[in-house]
Amino acid sequence: MDKKCICRLRSIYRAITALEQEMQKLHGININEGMLLCLLSENKSLTSGEIAEALGLTCSNTSKIICAVEKKELISRVMGKTDKREMYFSLSAAGKKRLEEMKDCDWELPEILTQVLEKTNNE
């Protein structure tokens, strides 16, 4: 990896960090919590293992994110019908509302992230 690549990665990291700070300020959630809300909006209900796999996070990290979002009452927990040890998570009414508020927000994506998304969409 050359110096130019590392510098570009640093710029991308800084842009994501700035975006996450704005997200936290405007909506009270971080990027991982937002990704969890989006994931649950696309699926009726998921187990924590399914969430971890879909988000590409460890089970431990996923558990922390679930707890944080659950405390904010943005998701609901339901016990499995056949296996009472298994928990399923779904988006609550408050979670749906928060996601809609986020979609309606006019965010300005940093230029470097716009370039990365355009390149990804063209592949």
DSSP string, the chain: --HHHHHHHHHHHHHHHHHHHHHHHHHS--HHHHHHHHHHHHSS-B-HHHHHHHHT--HHHHHHHHHHHHHTT-EEEEE-SS-TT-EEEEE-HHHHHHHHHHHHS-----HHHHHHHHHHHH-
Q: What is the pTM of this model?
A: 0.84
Strand partners, 4: none
Q: What percentage of residues in the chain have a pLDDT greater than 90?
A: 56
Segment of 12-26, 51-65, 108-122 carrying the highest mean pLDDT: 51-65
Cα 77 from Cα 39, distance rounded (Å): 15
pLDDT of residue 37: 96
Q: Residue 106 above 90 pLDDT? A: no
pLDDT of residue 92: 97
Q: Residue 61 above 90 pLDDT? A: yes
pLDDT of residue 41: 95
Q: How far is CA 110 from the centre of its chain?
A: 18
Neighbours of 29 (CB within 10 A): 23
Every domain of the chain and the residues it spans: 3-117
Cα 78 from Cα 87, distance rounded (Å): 6
CATH architecture for the domain at 3-117: Orthogonal Bundle (1.10)
Classify residue 107 by burial, with Cβ atoms within 10 Å: 0-12, 13-18, 19+: exposed
Mean pLDDT of the chain: 89
